[in-house]
Amino acid sequence: MNHSANIFIKPENKGLITRASEVAERLQGAVLIEDGLVAAVGSVVVFISERGISLVKMGSSENPVFIDFTAKKIQYRQKNSGTRKEALARAVGMKKGEAINIVDASAGLGGDSFILAALGANMLMLERNPLVHLLLEDAILRAKHDINLQGIMENMQLINADSITYLDGLETRPDVIYMDPMFPDKTKTALSKKEMRLFREIAGADEDVNLLLEKALQKASRRVVIKRPRKSPYVNNMKPHFDISGKSSRFDVYMV
């Protein structure tokens, strides 16, 4: 989608107008809703509240998209499966006491980066979509105020960039490049079905994933890991060296 077309910024109250104006300026072409202006049905609204930033679609039944690293769901995952025995940790090759450098080339909702950062990995998160980047940035800033999450947030760096372009200019090779691309058959378990419809519309499919895999294999020093729905075909028909399957997802591991 054209990221500035039909996008409106709505502050919850007058005290948030300055923040809303900053976001509108950043998302060039977005319209700030004030003084009775109403967003058109079908348009995307960046809703700025005291709680944080969320995305809403006007006149739709989809739930708002909101990223929250303090939410019970991700906290449960961190506490109960956030060990080096977890499929994700095994896929990226984490060893006890080793702080590996990982580039998450399709940061999205940030859940996998959060789990890996909680295990001690240094995460560089790349997200090219300006709206998704805005949500993720806001979630990280909020989490930094939570005393229990500050250490994890120190391991997470977020950049608004196209992954192929960014990796092309990368001089220091990361240990691992991780990819969780959006496919037409992709489901994001961190979101409900209604949230997912809006997220998919905003983020769009990662149609350049074949090129991204080729670039990642050139730039990673140890391995490239791609997260896929469990029964999906391999990216670019390239068979990985091995894969690790969970209940719904599969991690394809390409050793460099």
Domain tally, the chain = 2
User: Are residue 168 and residue 116 in the same domain, yes or no?
Assistant: yes
DSSP string, 33-76: --TT--PPTT-EEEEE-SS-EEEEETT--PPPB---TTSHHHHH
User: Are residue 194 and residue 233 in the same domain, yes or no?
Assistant: yes
Rounded CA-CA distance 140/138 in Å is 5
User: Are residue 47 and residue 84 in the same domain, yes or no?
Assistant: no
What tens digit of pLDDT does each residue of 39-85 get? 777 788 999 999 999 998 888 777 888 999 988 777 766 666 545 56
Domain containing residue 162: 72-255
Rounded CA-CA distance 80/254 in Å is 27
User: Are residue 168 and residue 83 in the same domain, yes or no?
Assistant: yes
**Residue 3: what pLDDT?**
47
2 is a domain residue: no
Q: Please check whether residue 30 is in contact with residue 24, taking contact to mean a CB–CB distance below 8 angstroms.
A: yes
User: Are residue 180 and residue 228 in the same domain, yes or no?
Assistant: yes
107 is a domain residue: yes
User: Are residue 137 and residue 42 in the same domain, yes or no?
Assistant: no
What tens digit of pLDDT does each residue of 22-45 get? 999 999 888 898 766 677 777 889
User: Are residue 93 and residue 193 in the same domain, yes or no?
Assistant: yes
164 is a domain residue: yes
The CATH number for 101's domain is: 3.40.50.150
User: Are residue 78 and residue 189 in the same domain, yes or no?
Assistant: yes
Per-residue burial over 113-143, b = 16 or more CB atoms within 10 Å of its CB, e = otherwise: bbbbbbbbbbbbbbbbbbbbbbbbbbbbebb
1 is a domain residue: no
**Residue 190: what pLDDT?**
52
63 is a domain residue: no
161 is a domain residue: yes
130 is a domain residue: yes
User: Are residue 147 and residue 39 in the same domain, yes or no?
Assistant: no
Rounded CA-CA distance 228/115 in Å is 17
User: Are residue 16 and residue 80 in the same domain, yes or no?
Assistant: no
**Residue 58: what pLDDT?**
84
205 is a domain residue: yes
Q: What is the pLDDT along the chain (256 residues), one digit of tens a residue?
A: 444 457 899 999 999 999 999 999 999 888 898 766 677 777 889 999 999 999 988 887 778 889 999 887 777 666 665 455 688 999 999 987 789 999 999 999 999 999 999 989 999 999 999 999 999 999 999 999 999 899 999 999 999 999 999 999 999 999 999 999 886 554 545 555 556 677 777 776 678 999 999 999 999 999 999 999 888 999 999 999 999 998 888 999 999 9
User: Are residue 45 and residue 124 in the same domain, yes or no?
Assistant: no
User: Are residue 52 and residue 135 in the same domain, yes or no?
Assistant: no
